[in-house]
Amino acid sequence: MKLVLKLVAGILAGLLLGLYAPEWVARVLFTAKTVIGQLITFTIPLIILFFIMSGIASLPKNSGKLLGKTVALSYCSTILAGLFAFTVASNLIPRLTTAAEPTAESAIKLASYINLEIPPLFGVMSALAAAFVFGIGISATQATDLRRVADQGRDIIDRLLAKVIIPLLPFYIAGVFVEMTVEGTVFATLKTFGVVLVMAIVMHWLWLSVLFVGTGLALGRSPAQLIKNMLPAYFTALGTMSSAATIPVALQASKNNGVSDGIANFTVPLCATIHLCGSTITLVTCATAVMFLSEHLAIPGIDTMLPFIMMLGVIMIAAPGAPGGGVMSALGLLTSMLGFGEASIALMIALYLAQDSFGTACNVTGDGVIALWADRFAQSGEPALSAEQDAA
């Protein structure tokens, strides 16, 4: 929550400095934004490589069809949530907001004092392909040395995000809003911010209602009781902004819903990594809004967004546990598949961080549904998890 307050402070600082500060002050902030943006661009492929490779390599082994069904169900929920979000956002955002256009009076174009380029070591798709090749290979061959490299690389990038990049994001956002204020597009952008935040939160609740009502009716359980038992996990995630930090509460909530201990211990930690319906709703909604706001982008059709959403469901495995980790993992797809530039990326980060806690809460609460179905799969003839598999 401190990060959200810092984000708001960055927006206000950028707005005020853009309106009242001398041009050189605005250029200093714009320069900081440019340098931080280069660091973010450099880090994106490394996030994808190490987090996905480590995640695949650490998936539970020998849990048979139950693992496959759990992963498939989580992926389907994530994809359908993304399609739902795009359908709503693409129809409502153009009707509720207006595109931000530069004012005729604005003649100032900010320029950075430092022209620094930090090219990534490799491209986004190369990082994704390498992560899958090595992740699956490590899992299949039990290459402990490579797995240690993957885990240590993940820890290094996680520390870079937590200690450097994410603390710098308020300055990055301030630089973005300085630029928009100078160009005269800031107030239309802020109006869209408010609409998008409310829209995303409402869609979280609607999607959770669909999941729990459908599951309750299919399993002969009370949807209201199922949701009530998961509320402690929802509100814990609101405060922690982390699926991983909420795992203990989510485990107990799932067990309160009647999920057996072995299945809950297997499913809930796994879904904290692979079932990200709330984050996907947020990312798709925010991306649609940013494309509507951007002069050089337009809201695409479903033929473009469906592959993006399907890839998003895969690449979110790389989401770091830090606040804002979901959007950091998605930046590569936003640039490579939707054509986002630096300004669009900055808006995306600002929009996502403003409601990250609600997306995380939706993720965690939705995990309770996956746990219920995994328990039903196990009761329908799947072999029970052994103690060694449960520990994995």
pLDDT digits (tens, 9 = 90+) for 363-382: 889 999 999 998 888 776 54
User: Is the predicted pLDDT of residue 38 greater than 80, yes or no?
Assistant: yes
Rg of the chain over CA atoms, in angstroms? 21
Return the half-sphere exposure (C-beta side, CA atoms, 13 A cut-off) of residue 225: 10
Q: Any idea which residue has 């490589």 for tokens?
A: 49
Higher pLDDT, 238 or 304: 304
pLDDT at 175: 81
Return the half-sphere exposure (C-beta side, CA atoms, 13 A cut-off) of residue 144: 0
Of 284-288, 348-352, 362-366, least confident by mean pLDDT is 348-352
Rounded to whole angstroms, how far apart are CA atoms 309 and 297? 18
% of the chain residues with pLDDT over 90 = 13
Q: Residue 18 corresponds to which tokens in the numbers above?
A: 């853009």
Sign of the CA dihedral running 160, 162, 167, 172: positive
In order, the DSSP letters of 154-191 are: HHHHHHHIIIIIHHHHHHHHHHHHHHHHHHT-HHHHHH
pLDDT at 23: 77
All residues at 6 or more sequence positions from 21 whose CB lies less than 8 Å from its CB, including other chains: none
Sign of the CA dihedral running 228, 230, 232, 238: negative
Of 106-110, 225-229, 266-270, 380-384, least confident by mean pLDDT is 380-384
Rounded to whole angstroms, how far apart are CA atoms 110 and 179? 7
Higher pLDDT, 307 or 19: 307
pLDDT at 290: 86
Rounded to whole angstroms, how far apart are CA atoms 345 and 348? 5
Helix (H, G, I), strand (E, B) or coil at 114: coil
pLDDT at 382: 47
pLDDT at 352: 82
Higher pLDDT, 282 or 172: 282
User: Is the predicted pLDDT of residue 389 greater than 50, yes or no?
Assistant: no
Higher pLDDT, 280 or 328: 280
pLDDT tens per residue, range 83-96: 999 999 989 888 87
User: Is the predicted pLDDT of residue 196 greater than 60, yes or no?
Assistant: yes
Give the global pTM: 0.75
pLDDT at 206: 94
Rounded to whole angstroms, how far apart are CA atoms 137 and 74? 23
Sign of the CA dihedral running 178, 282, 188, 107: positive
Length of the chain: 392
Confidence category of residue 80, pLDDT binned at 50, 70, 90: very high
Confidence category of residue 62, pLDDT binned at 50, 70, 90: low
pLDDT at 176: 77
Domain 1-380 class in CATH: mainly alpha
Angstrom CA distances, 22 to 50, 185, 298, 329, 392, stand at 43, 19, 34, 36, 58
All residues at 6 or more sequence positions from 91 whose CB lies less than 8 Å from its CB, including other chains: none
Rounded to whole angstroms, how far apart are CA atoms 34 and 179? 11
